Amino acid sequence: MPRAGLNRQVLVRTAAEMADEIGFSNLTLAGLARRFDVRLASLYSHLRNSDDLMTSVALYGLDLLADRADEAVAGRAGKDALVAVANVHRDFAYAHPGLFEAARHRLDADAARDSGGARISRITRTILRGYALSAVEQVHAVRLLGSVFAGYPMLELAGGFAHSDPDAQLSWQRALDALDAALRAWPTAWLPSPCFKRPE
């Protein structure tokens, strides 16, 4: 019989807290059951399996990040919007390292389409309204911005910039300056080059 007060929402929220404590990749149903001092079987009334757990936490994290990005971009445009949303990602990575990791969990197409990740993509397109990019070029720009918003904090949290000068904060600011400059000078035409190839 399911434990009173135990439901999917409570389990996912607690799992999200655990992800920040022990790392998203270390989350298990068994560990979640121990947190509530219940038998593992009790969780199967609410979560189908480990993949359901990981996906649910990833969606929770993406929604939380999207909410913050949505608030940050409100009333801003151009570089102000770019910097605000970028800082939301970096701040989120420091405040919720497990959920930041969870945000990179691979989702199936249906889950991704309705997720906070799709909202973040739309928010990023909102940033691009301040730049003269065509709809086609916006796709490339969204991917570039996403790579920096996710990649820089990931490397920073892993200590990738800890043993060299200048401080990572200065490099972050310069990276955002460079992104703004790149978006303002975005090439309008592009021809495929033999130098570029898809990774094997």
Residue 189: pLDDT over 70: no
Q: CA gyration radius for the chain? A: 20
Contacts with 188 (C-beta within 8 Å, 6 or more apart), sequence order: 134, 137
The pTM assigned to this predicted structure is 0.89
Tokens representing residue 126 in the block:
């909102």
Per-residue pLDDT, 191: 58
Matching CATH number, 8-184, of 3.40.50.300, 1.10.3720.10, 1.10.357.10, 1.10.287.70: 1.10.357.10
Q: How many angstroms separate the CA atoms of 9 and 56, rounded?
A: 9
Residue 1: pLDDT over 50: no
- Of residues 60, 66, 69, 52, the one with CA closest to residue 19: 60
